[in-house]
């Protein structure tokens, strides 16, 4: 199949964007809200602002994914240092939903849950059934490092909004992820190639790479939504962040906005012109990322957990680096340096936790300078704790991420539809991306499919809706 992508159409989109902006509950099971008492509790004071009962056991369940579980054991040791009489039960699994959902239904959840990964419990269901504790008290508590600062004061911008539903802060997304296009700086330097800042430059470089006998791109074919991230990033930069707001709010025709159409058209060209590694559509994230790490493709879309996830197979001297998505036109509303930056690795305290106070305190420990720096040291990823990184030798990828953040300044953005409506991203948009990059549909059909999917969510009365403002 071949198709010529209209460059004129892309340029027209940049000129005319102007000011125009264009998962279901948990299988019906009652999750149990927060009507019961919160369990173990002590009197709050300056040394114990959250009222932790010093000898109350604490149970922590971690998603054993790209970051592993060792960082959590370090946080648990820090908690134990503060509360030596508390016994801590630790477990880690990749089967979060299968393991923990029955415990929520039974009213016997752990005190802290890292609800992450492909098998996480649907947040829409957890929120709508009142299964999560409000973390507002944590935000208002003094930070461990400076009693004059609240925990909220220590967080990076946008983190509270990301974890809030109907004005209640219910989920702490602990890792700070920078999303962009990843490559080997060594490879580009050795070949004399420059990372492209415009889409025309990207296509030109892809032709050069292909002529050199290499694959310009690969992608996580079995999780094709990874390629929706550069599409939406490019759309936000072209049309402004109102484009993302409309998508988050399930507005009619939000996915059909001219900026989204132009971005989908651009990235579809990668497939049409043969710039994607053959067979990528059948690879999962580990397989495709390993192919990339081995030099079998130059570019891949991912978040900043990539370096840690690939550390066992990345060759020495690879010099992993990340850059923002290229600007689509000279008229983009956001500069090239703008990128998607947001929290990931959501941590929650269940409303029926036996040691709810201990759960809140555990998160406060995680958000201390020591807790944050230890995480960064162990997994080569930033946390949502703001401020410079001190006393840590940064890996190449993390060095690139910090440069990305510093260069962007205030020009960061994010979308929330994937947090509000898991099914929309993980199932419906994912399937549309799979069909787009395998050329079973074209870019016009892609935005139509995504809009139809969003409309299905909007019309489904069983799914709680959220409004981003």
Answer yes or no: same fold for 58-176+343-393 and 179-340+416-459: yes
Strands (E) across 107-233 are located at 112-114, 164-165, 168-169, 172-184
pLDDT given at position 15: 45
The structure tokens listed for 78 are 């820090």
Look up residue 440 and give its DSSP letter: S
pLDDT of residue 31: 53
Q: Which string of DSSP letters, residue by residue, matches 341-382?
A: EEEEEEEE-BTT-TBHHHHHHHHHHHTSHHHHHHHHHHHS-E
For residue range 155-173, what is the model confidence (pLDDT) as tens digits?
998 899 999 999 999 999 9
- How far is residue 372's CA from residue 360's CA, in Å, rounded to a whole number? 16
In this structure, are residues 455 and 252 in contact, taking their beta carbons and an 8 Å threshold?
yes
Q: What pLDDT is attached to residue 415? A: 97
Pick the closest to residue 175 from 159, 161, 160 (CA basis).
Answer: 159
Asked whether the beta carbons of 464 and 23 are under 8 A apart, the reply is no
Burial 294-323 (b: 16+ CB within 10 A, else e): eeebbbbbbbbbbbbbbeeebeeebbbbbb
Sign of the Cα pseudo-torsion (273, 279, 284, 288, in order)? negative
**pLDDT the model gives residue 20:** 38
> Which helix (H) or strand (E) is 418 found in, with range?
helix 417-420
Topology of domain 179-340+416-459, per CATH?
D-Maltodextrin-Binding Protein; domain 2 (3.40.190)
CATH says 58-176+343-393 is which class?
A: alpha beta
- For 374-412, write each residue's pLDDT tens digit: 999 998 889 999 987 778 889 999 999 999 999 999 999
In the prediction, which pLDDT does 118 show?
A: 85
Beta strands in 213-286 (DSSP E): none
> Within a 10 A sphere around the Cβ of 45, how many other Cβ atoms?
8
**3-class DSSP assignment, residue 87:** coil
Q: Which residues contact 84 (CB under 8 A, 6 or more apart)?
A: none
- Angstrom CA distances, 78 to 53, 71, 82, 144, 332, stand at 16, 11, 7, 12, 46
Structural contact between residues 134 and 168, judged by C-beta atoms closer than 8 angstroms = yes
Choose among 372, 362, 355: nearest CA to 138: 362
Domain extent listing, the chain: 58-176+343-393, 179-340+416-459
Buried b (16+ CB within 10 A) or exposed e, 131-157: bbbbbbbbbebbbbeeeeebbbebbbe
Which pLDDT value is given to residue 392?
87
Residue whose entry in the numeric block shows the structure tokens 């703008």? 338
Which residues of the chain carry a pLDDT beneath 50? Answer: 1-30, 34-37
| pTM score | 0.85
- pLDDT at position 3 is 39
| Long-range contact pairs involving 145-152 (C-beta distance under 8 Å, separation at least 24) | 145/368, 145/369, 147/46, 151/364, 151/367
Residue 308 CB-half CA count within 13 A:
24
258-272 vs 7-16: helix axis angle to the nearest 10?
Answer: 160
Instruction: Give the whole-angstrom CA distance, residue 290 versus residue 29.
Output: 39
């Amino acid at each position: 199949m071949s198709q010529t992508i209209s460059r004129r159409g892309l340029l027209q989109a940049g000129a005319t964007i102007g000011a125009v902006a264009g998962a279901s509950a948990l299988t019906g099971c009652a999750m149990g809200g927060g009507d019961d008492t919160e369990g173990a509790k002590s009197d709050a004071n300056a040394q114990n602002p959250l009222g932790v009962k010093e000898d109350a056991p604490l149970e922590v369940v971690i998603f054993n994914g790209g970051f592993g579980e060792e960082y959590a054991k370090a946080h648990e040791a820090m908690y134990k240092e503060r509360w030596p009489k508390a016994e801590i039960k630790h477990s880690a699994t990749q089967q979060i939903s299968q393991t923990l959902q029955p415990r929520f239904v039974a009213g016997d959840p752990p005190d802290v849950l890292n609800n992450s990964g492909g098998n996480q419990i649907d947040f829409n269901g957890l929120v709508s059934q009142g299964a999560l504790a409000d973390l507002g008290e944590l935000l208002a508590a003094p930070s461990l490092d400076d009693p004059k600062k609240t925990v909220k004061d220590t967080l990076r911008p946008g983190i509270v909004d990301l974890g809030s539903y109907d004005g209640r802060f219910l989920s702490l997304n602990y890792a700070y992820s920078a999303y962009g296009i990843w490559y080997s700086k060594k490879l580009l330097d050795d070949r004399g190639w420059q990372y492209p800042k415009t889409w025309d430059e990207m296509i030109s470089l892809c032709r050069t790479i292909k002529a050199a006998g290499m694959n310009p791109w690969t992608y996580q074919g079995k999780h094709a939504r990874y390629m929706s991230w550069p599409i939406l990033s490019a759309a936000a930069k072209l049309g402004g962040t109102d484009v993302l707001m409309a998508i988050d709010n399930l507005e009619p025709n939000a996915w059909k906005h001219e900026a989204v159409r132009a971005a989908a058209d651009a990235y579809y060209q990668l497939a049409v012109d043969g710039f994607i590694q053959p067979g990528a559509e059948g690879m999962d994230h580990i397989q495709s990322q390993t192919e990339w790490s081995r030099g079998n493709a130059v570019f891949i879309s991912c978040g900043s957990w990539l370096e840690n996830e690939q550390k066992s197979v990345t060759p020495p001297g690879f010099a992993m680096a990340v850059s923002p998505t290229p600007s689509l036109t000279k008229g983009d509303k956001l500069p090239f340096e703008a990128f998607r930056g947001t929290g990931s690795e959501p941590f929650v305290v269940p409303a029926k936790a036996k040691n709810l106070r201990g759960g809140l305190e555990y998160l406060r420990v995680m958000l201390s300078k020591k807790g944050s720096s230890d995480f960064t040291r162990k997994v080569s990823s930033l946390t949502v704790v703001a401020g410079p990184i001190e006393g840590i030798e940064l890996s190449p990828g993390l060095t690139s991420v910090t440069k990305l953040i510093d260069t962007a300044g205030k020009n960061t953005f994010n979308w929330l539809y994937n947090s509000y409506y898991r099914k929309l991203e993980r199932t419906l948009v994912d399937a549309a991306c799979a069909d787009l990059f395998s050329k079973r549909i074209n870019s016009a059909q892609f935005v139509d499919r995504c809009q139809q999917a969003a409309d299905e969510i909007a019309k489904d009365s069983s799914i709680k809706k959220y409004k981003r403002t």
